[in-house]
């Protein structure tokens, strides 16, 4: 997976995530929208055969979109870890 910054300003960020899917982008967008400092967050898949979704973030005030994205990614990772542990418990792996 490769991340490329497409556009960046003090309160907006647009990145492409090569090799990603709707699953990851949808999770990130949802976690971003849970952040009250985020004004807008979403993603687009410009072409269904090219797996390089674009995530867009716009922040309220002077908050940095990079900080919000890192925080959202950490929440996604924590949820994934918790889900993995619960699967191991239930499946007795």
The domain locations on the chain are 2-91
Fold of 2-91: Gyrase A; domain 2 (3.30.1360)
> E strand or H helix at 44, and its extent?
strand 38-44
Phi, psi of 83, rounded to the nearest 5 degrees = -65, -40
Global confidence as pTM? 0.86
Say which residue, 78 or 49, is predicted with more confidence. 78
**3-state DSSP call for residue 51?**
coil
Q: Are 44 and 29 in contact (CB under 8 A)?
A: no
**pLDDT at site 20:** 86
Asked whether the predicted pLDDT for residue 1 surpasses 80, the reply is: yes
């Amino acid at each position: 997976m490769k991340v490329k910054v497409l556009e960046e300003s003090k309160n907006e960020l647009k990145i492409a995530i090569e090799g990603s899917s709707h699953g990851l982008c949808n999770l990130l967008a949802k976690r971003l929208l849970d952040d009250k400092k985020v004004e807008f967050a979403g993603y687009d898949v410009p072409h269904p055969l090219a797996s390089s979704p674009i995530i867009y973030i716009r922040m309220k005030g002077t908050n940095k979109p990079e900080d919000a994205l890192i925080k959202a990614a950490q929440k996604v990772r924590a949820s994934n870890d918790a889900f993995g542990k619960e699967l191991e418990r239930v499946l007795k792996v």
